[in-house]
Amino acid sequence: MDHFSYQNGNLFAENVKIETIAKKIGTPVYIYSKATFIEHFQKMQRAFSEIDTTICYSVKACGNINILKFMAQAGSGFDIVSGGELFRVQQAGGDTSKTVFAGVGKTDNEIIDAMNAGIGYFNIESQEELENLITIAEKQGKKTKAALRINPDVQYKTHAYITTGVKETKFGVDIEHAINIFDKYAGNKNVNLCAVHVHLGSGGKTIEPYVNAVKKILPVIDELRTCGHKVEMLDLGGGYGADYESDTVPSAQQYADGIVPLLKDRKLKLILEPGKSICANAGILLSRIIYTKQGGSKNFAIVDAGMNDLIRPSLYDAFHFIWPAKVNEEFVPSQREKDFQLDGTEIYDVVGPICEGADFLAKDRALPPVKRDDLLAVFTAGAYGFTMSSNYNARCRAAEVLVDGENFSIIRKRETYEDLIALEK
């Protein structure tokens, strides 16, 4: 599932020993494996190759421009949700015609910039947004394309904050509304409303929600076509699972096996917007233990990475497997899972240095005996890790390092105290 593995008790990213990176760059540091990104991307490409598919990697999951650059070279398009992400794609030399723009609150300036950049299409989240897009396009004398985000109202089991495909969220419009919007606006000369977008949210562990969404959306597309509307593309969004625990989510092939047969011979281009399924396993957050202590019956490992570096455990109750970067042979983990333990492990809370009770990376987790100065690797931290990080507690954001085979390079420098106040003049 990725290229982080133990050799003789030492954790490696591809062919680079993690300890070497820590010595040279310090901690906390995000370490990415290029091969893992490319492998996940190509697996998805191959799985969906039977139908005309464009993969638009979701920038918000992990958007360093060096990463976007090699993703673009590998043939990826991009899914963006802000003007800042558009800028990142442009700086990385990404193909803007293969870039799609979602988000419920696009501002006029963001819309104008994206139109001028010639993006593939706008994913429209409301009637008012579409009306505004039309007004802007007419005023600017520009032509652009749009996909209407439809809420298929399928539920699945994930955290409430990352469910987006049901009626009671702020995203998209419901099916009844969608038909009216096409009837009213699809003939516009400046904005070609020619696609349907669905994005279910994140974290599903089965293919059923996708299969059900496609089954619910195809009749809508049929109805739209019967009414004389062109529907050229179906954008199925992102949210495909990532293995936070070993082998717990469907493979790209399994998603394709469920989805492709439904879309064959439907004269629909397919767009996919994977984020975490490409990048989650491609990154770890490496931290060093500052202190250990006991509180009541609990062991604490206090590390130099906190919720400002990785907020997912505090925000979503997310699970990240954590293990020392160097262990005796008997403590090499055979898999990454919630209840993984071995003879001799002890139960720890892994917490950060920030002045908040919610500042933890893991609770009640079995770890081999650890001590001050040991390195702890927080696995599957490539998605929504660095991109959600902040300067809270006036902490400098972590460095980002990219490993490629035997080599590694800094792709984002560690921030300095000067960076913290640079805009406060």
Ligand X SMILES: *Cc1c(COP(=O)(O)O)cnc(C)c1O
- What residues contact residue 48 under an 8 Å CB cut-off, 6+ apart? 55, 252, 256, 259, 260, 270, 272
Measured CA to CA in angstroms, residue 275 lies from 278, 281, 346, 383 at distances of 6, 11, 34, 7
Shortest distance, position 235 Cβ to ligand X, whole Å: 8
Smaller CB separation from ligand X, 251 or 299: 251
Q: Which one of 15-23, 273-281, 288-296, 354-362 is the stretch in contact with ligand X (CB under 6 A)?
A: 273-281
From the candidates 56, 194, 227, 355, give the one annotated as an active-site residue.
355
The footprint of ligand X on this chain (CB under 6 A) covers a number of residues equal to: 18
Question: In this structure, are residues 302 and 290 in contact, taking their beta carbons and an 8 Å threshold?
Answer: yes
Cis bond before residue 261 (omega within 30° of 0): no
> Residue 119 corresponds to which tokens in the numbers above?
């993006």
Shortest distance, position 240 Cβ to ligand X, whole Å: 6
Q: State the residue for tokens 């996708």.
A: 210
Site string for ligand X, 375-414 (x = CB under 6 A): --------x-------------------------------
Q: Which of 14, 125, 273, 359 binds ligand X (CB under 6 A)?
A: 273
Scanning residues 102 to 121, which ones bind ligand X (CB under 6 A)?
102
Smaller CB separation from ligand X, 262 or 388: 388
Q: Which of 16, 31, 59, 81 binds ligand X (CB under 6 A)?
A: 81
Q: Which of 53, 58, 64, 144 binds ligand X (CB under 6 A)?
A: 58
Buried b (16+ CB within 10 A) or exposed e, 143-162: ebbbbbbbbbebebebeeeb
> Residue 287 corresponds to which tokens in the numbers above?
């931290």
Smaller CB separation from ligand X, 275 or 333: 275
Smaller CB separation from ligand X, 4 or 240: 240
- Nearest-angstrom CA–CA distance, 199 and 208: 14
Q: Of 411, 423, 422, 415, which is closest to residue 66 (Cα–Cα)? A: 411
Q: Which amino acid is at 73?
A: Q
Scanning residues 233 to 262, which ones bind ligand X (CB under 6 A)?
237-240
Q: Which one of 187-195, 212-220, 269-277, 396-404 is the stretch in contact with ligand X (CB under 6 A)?
A: 269-277
Q: Which one of 109-117, 268-276, 353-361, 392-400 is the stretch in contact with ligand X (CB under 6 A)?
A: 268-276
Q: Which of 28, 63, 83, 275 binds ligand X (CB under 6 A)?
A: 275
- Nearest-angstrom CA–CA distance, 115 and 407: 39
Q: Which of 3, 34, 40, 60 binds ligand X (CB under 6 A)?
A: 60
Give yes or no: 355 in active site: yes
Question: In this structure, are residues 289 and 362 in contact, taking their beta carbons and an 8 Å threshold?
Answer: no
Q: Which of 13, 22, 59, 61 binds ligand X (CB under 6 A)?
A: 61
Site string for ligand X, 190-219 (x = CB under 6 A): ---------x--x-----------------
Report if residue 172 touches ligand X, rule: CB under 6 A.
no
Smaller CB separation from ligand X, 104 or 342: 104
State the catalytic residues.
Answer: 355
User: Can you give the binding site for ligand X, defined by CB under 6 A?
Assistant: 58, 60-61, 79, 81, 102, 199, 202, 237-240, 273-277, 383
